[in-house]
Amino acid sequence: MKQSKRVLVTGGSGQLGSTLKKAIQSTTETIDFVFTDSKDLDISNLESVMEYLNKADFDYCINCAGYTQVDKAEEDEEKALFINEHGVKNLAKACHSYNTILIHISTDFVFDGRKSSPYLETDRPSPLGIYGLSKYKGEQEVVRNMDRYFIIRTSWLYSEYGHNFFKSMLKYGRERDQLSVVFDQIGTPTSAHDLVTAILKIIVEEIDNYGIYHFSNEGVASWYDFAQAIFDINGIQVDLKPIRSKEYPTPAERPSYSLLDKSKIKKVLKTQIPHWRKSLEEVSKNMGSVK
């Protein structure tokens, strides 16, 4: 008789996977996690994915794997689509074949930012760049190939692990006297720890309200606001200048407004979500313990 839930985690060495590894160290739940990265499991190879899921009776697969280089994707469209669309299609097919529930992480970049109120799960995606397009195509493959899934769109994800805006600002703030950050892109910073908490709640409580969900921290910020809060909380003195996006052109266009409506996930999980600044304070405290 099966004693505990078994959970496969793809992209286990990335930001979200690393955050999940830390979270399960303090959980009292009996869950068997198997963390993989691209060396262990190549999601772009359907045969490999099928073989891997056939080896073990996984209840859930948390897909943290993905091509996440937003600007580079503009010149590397084939690779972005190969991982974020084709790879996700393979996972969806394999999970469906082996009755495994897929928890797939997506992004606010599936939207064009032209709305003036928080995006609902029912709003029609319209990505501005290749990265957002590849993630949206991945979502479509999940919906097309299986029926027991959670697609969780999140925004401005950061933690003490991996590469992210939070860590970049800590580095640059300590190295430079002056920095310029855009103030006309609005969204919500999201702590990977809070996202992991929601994912674990889905698994522990065996939530079966499958579908698409939005998750970010509460509150509103521009990248400039986010940077200023990082400096304030971490005691960094730097001359921070607000600039418009047109003054800092990037290969990929970003949505100017990407607030996500979290009403659905809060109702289904019966939970409250912390304000982004409170979570930023927590992640800042955690930085001291990361080598």
Q: Alpha carbon of 289 to those of 91, 134, 171: distances in Å?
A: 34, 35, 16
**Residue 288 near residue 218 (C-beta atoms within 8 A):** no
CA 287 to chain centroid, in Å, comes to 19
CB-based contact 53:92 (threshold 8 Å) = no
* 12 backbone dihedrals φ, ψ, rounded to 5°: -70, -15
Q: How many C-alpha atoms does 20 have within 13 Å on its Cβ side? A: 28
Q: Examine the residue annotation and report whether 131 is marked as an active-site residue of this protein.
A: yes
Count other C-beta atoms under 10 Å from residue 5's C-beta. 17
Handedness of CA 43, 130, 122, 144 (dihedral sign): negative
Q: Cα–Cα distance between 158 and 194 in angstroms, integer?
A: 10
Among all chains, which residue has been given the structure tokens 């579908």? Answer: 211
CA 131 vs. chain centroid, Å, equals 13
Q: Which amino acid is at 120?
A: L
What count of other Cβ atoms lies within 10 Å of the Cβ of residue 275? 12
CA angle 145, 81, 254 (to 5 degrees): 110
- Asked whether the beta carbons of 31 and 56 are under 8 A apart, the reply is no
The catalytic residue among 131, 213, 224, 257 is: 131
Angle between helix 88-97 and helix 46-55 axes, rounded to 10 deg: 40
Q: Where in the sequence numbering do the catalytic residues fall?
A: 131
